Amino acid sequence: MIPPQKIVILGSTGSIGQSTLRVCAALPEQFEVVGLAAMSRIEPLIDQARLHGVKTIAVADVQSARIAADRAPDLTVWSGAEGIERMAAGEGVDTVLCALVGMAGLRPVLAALERGTDVALATKEVLVAAGGRVTALARRTGAHILPVDSEHSAIFQCLQGQSVGRVKRLVLTASGGPFAARADIDFEKVTVAEALNHPRWNMGKKVTVDSATLMNKGLEIMEAHWLFDVPLDRIDVVIHPESIVHSMVEFIDGSVLAQMSPPDMRYAIQYALTWPGRFDGGLPPLDLVKVSPLHFKSPDPSRFPGLSLARSAAATGGTMPAVLNAANEEAVSLFLEGRIPFAGIWRTVEVVMARHHSIRDPELEAILDADRWARTAARETVNAR
């Protein structure tokens, strides 16, 4: 019998992390979870560890890690950003699933890849900001980057057994969030609750707001470019409100392959972990008759500038995508704090990008500098108003 794969989950208390634990629990012969990490939410983290028989946890916030060690003497608790990296680079770990929010995922992902450990990647910001560095490292060590983002999982599945040379274009589907179908919405007046009310997917706050601005799709264009080595101008976006077709690949012979499933992240997570195999994890079947009709339409770039800002950052390259990403993360936080209107998110990103002089072929430090600079610049832009 093949021993179960040893899995580490970074960001286990979030939506993707919880779904990953469900996937692993449904296939106990395939998976053994050996480490869980979170930024600061220690109560659910400790509960998860005990429920799933995980002995080691890591907590990024040092203060919270200390409290966790007091409360859970039965667990080994690693602390700080170093603790998370140590867990990612753990000996004997087969796959690290990274679902940390934003740039917090970068160093742990690099640590895992450096060791040659496969990474199931949900944190798209890692590829947006440092795609060149991250993919070069994976090539050098032979580690795989397995997409967990539903669109990229779909493309990855459609590309099995195919070479990129046969690809004409990739088509990323976007649910459009709560606003794409509603031309009457005034983006100066959208409330936080309205932006967080996603019609199809139940996700973390940051990605839900990104989904409402369509910035998420902009980031996903860059993510797809790095994962599949397809030029940016051959990656298209189509709005598909039902979120059943998760993305498509058009080949040079004109055939289009699509991957479908109900809108539940467990399908993408399970495939990332079982690839290249497939297993019955008890996920509900897709009933096409029930979910039909399915709709597809073009996004309106004049209403959603996030898409073109992302394409522009990607075309500039260098440190500009890291700046777009960091300015967007800060702007989303400022919106959630009630400090800027919804439309202020893309206005802030645009102002910060205009102030940045991109550095070509940046080293990791230059990327991290650009990230820090853009966060400060975003806050300054808003404070100056």
We find the least distance from the C-beta atom of residue 124 to Mg ion, in angstroms, to be 7
Quote the strand ranges of 211-323, DSSP E.
235-239, 245-251, 256-260
> Which span sits near Mg ion by CB under 5 A: 22-30, 100-108, 142-150, 303-311?
142-150
Question: Of residues 201-220, which lie at the interface with Mg ion (CB under 5 A)?
Answer: none
> Which span sits near Mg ion by CB under 5 A: 2-10, 86-94, 146-154, 377-385?
146-154
Cα–Cα distance for residue pair 128/218, rounded to 1 Å = 10
> Can you tell me which of 149, 329, 330, 350 binds Mg ion, judged by CB under 5 A?
149
Question: Of residues 36-95, which lie at the interface with Mg ion (CB under 5 A)?
Answer: none
Cα of first residue to Cα of last residue in the chain, in angstroms, is 64
We find the least distance from the C-beta atom of residue 184 to Mg ion, in angstroms, to be 26
Q: Of 123 and 150, which CB lies nearer to Mg ion in the complex structure?
A: 150
> Which span sits near Mg ion by CB under 5 A: 108-116, 149-157, 261-269, 279-287?
149-157
Amino acid code (one letter) for 155: I
We find the least distance from the C-beta atom of residue 340 to Mg ion, in angstroms, to be 24
Q: Closest CB to Mg ion belongs to which residue?
A: 149
Residue 213 CA, chain-centre distance (Å), reads 16
We find the least distance from the C-beta atom of residue 199 to Mg ion, in angstroms, to be 15
We find the least distance from the C-beta atom of residue 299 to Mg ion, in angstroms, to be 14
We find the least distance from the C-beta atom of residue 122 to Mg ion, in angstroms, to be 9
Neighbours of 136 (CB within 10 A): 12
> Which span sits near Mg ion by CB under 5 A: 23-31, 59-67, 151-159, 339-347?
151-159
Nearest Cα to Cα of residue 139 among 149, 150, 148, 131: 131
The Cα-based distances of 370 to 83, 126, 254, 348 in angstroms read: 25, 14, 41, 16
We find the least distance from the C-beta atom of residue 308 to Mg ion, in angstroms, to be 19
Query: Is 125 one of the binding residues for Mg ion (CB under 5 A)?
Result: no
Give me 302's structure tokens: 């004049």
Cα–Cα distance for residue pair 336/274, rounded to 1 Å = 36
Q: Of 84 and 120, which CB lies nearer to Mg ion in the complex structure?
A: 120
Mark residues 156-195: x for contact with Mg ion by CB under 5 A, - for none.
Answer: ----------------------------------------
Q: Strands 256-260 and 245-251, how do they pair?
A: antiparallel
Cα–Cα distance for residue pair 168/162, rounded to 1 Å = 12
Cα–Cα distance for residue pair 11/141, rounded to 1 Å = 24
Nearest Cα to Cα of residue 170 among 244, 211, 223, 241: 223
Question: Are 75 and 100 contacting, i.e. CB atoms less than 8 angstroms apart?
Answer: no
Cα–Cα distance for residue pair 224/194, rounded to 1 Å = 29
Q: Of 311 and 375, which CB lies nearer to Mg ion in the complex structure?
A: 311
Question: Of residues 364-383, which lie at the interface with Mg ion (CB under 5 A)?
Answer: none
Nearest Cα to Cα of residue 206 among 327, 328, 353, 309: 328
Amino acid code (one letter) for 342: F
Q: Of 118 and 149, which CB lies nearer to Mg ion in the complex structure?
A: 149
Cα–Cα distance for residue pair 235/270, rounded to 1 Å = 25
Cα–Cα distance for residue pair 40/44, rounded to 1 Å = 10
Q: Of 150 and 328, which CB lies nearer to Mg ion in the complex structure?
A: 150
We find the least distance from the C-beta atom of residue 283 to Mg ion, in angstroms, to be 18
We find the least distance from the C-beta atom of residue 337 to Mg ion, in angstroms, to be 25
> Which span sits near Mg ion by CB under 5 A: 33-41, 147-155, 265-273, 353-361?
147-155
Mark residues 237-266: x for contact with Mg ion by CB under 5 A, - for none.
Answer: ------------------------------
We find the least distance from the C-beta atom of residue 92 to Mg ion, in angstroms, to be 31
Question: Are 156 and 227 contacting, i.e. CB atoms less than 8 angstroms apart?
Answer: yes
Q: Of 155 and 378, which CB lies nearer to Mg ion in the complex structure?
A: 155
> Which span sits near Mg ion by CB under 5 A: 4-12, 56-64, 148-156, 198-206?
148-156
Q: Given the rule CB under 5 A, which residues bind Mg ion?
A: 149-151
